[in-house]
Amino acid sequence: MPVSARKAAQIALSAYRTREARPELVLSNTAKTEKMPARETALASRIVGGVLENEAFLDYYIELYSDRKKSYFDRETLDILRMSAYQLWFLDRVPAHAAVSDAVDLAPKRSKAVVNAILRKLPTEAEKLPEIKADSEEERLSVKYSHPLWLVQRLADEYGADCEKILKADNEPAKVSLILNTLRAEKLEEAGIEPSGLLENAYVLSGKGVEELEAFRRGEVYVQDISAHLAALAADPRPGDTVLDTCAAPGGKSFAAAIKMGNKGRIISRDIHEKKLRLIETGAERLGIDIIETGTADARQAGTELSKKCDVVMTDVPCSGIGVIRKKPEIRYKKPEEISRLPEIQLSILKSSAKNVKKGGVLLYSTCTILKEENENVVSAFLNENSEFELEPFTLPGPFGESGGMLTILPYEYGTDGFFICRMRRKSS
Active centre residues (catalytic): 368
Residue 222: strand pairing partners:
179
Residue 395: strand pairing partners:
402
The CA radius of gyration of the chain, in Å to the nearest whole number, is: 23
Residue 337: exposed, middle, or buried by beta-carbon count in 10 A (0-12, 13-18, 19+)?
Answer: exposed
- Whole-number Å distance between alpha carbons of 394 and 414: 19
Whether 133 contacts 143, CB under 8 Å? no
Residue 364: strand pairing partners:
314, 423
Listed in order, strand segments (DSSP E) in 196-277 are: 202-205, 221-223, 242-245, 266-271
Half-sphere exposure of 210 (CA within 13 A, CB side): 14
- Give the dihedral of Cα atoms 74, 80, 83, 85; nearest 10 deg: -90
- Whole-number Å distance between alpha carbons of 188 and 69: 53
Listed in sequence order, the residues at least 6 apart from 277 whose beta carbon sits closer than 8 Å to its beta carbon are 249, 269, 271, 294, 295, 296
- Whole-number Å distance between alpha carbons of 52 and 44: 12
Listed in sequence order, the residues at least 6 apart from 387 whose beta carbon sits closer than 8 Å to its beta carbon are none
Whether 78 contacts 70, CB under 8 Å? yes
Angle of helix 5-19 versus helix 38-53 axis, rounded to 10:
40
- Whole-number Å distance between alpha carbons of 220 and 185: 6
Signed CA dihedral, 211, 215, 218, 220: sign only: negative
Which amino acid is present at 388? E
Angle, vertex CA 120, rays to CA 118 and CA 123, nearest 5: 100
User: What does the longest C-alpha to C-alpha distance in the chain come to?
Assistant: 77
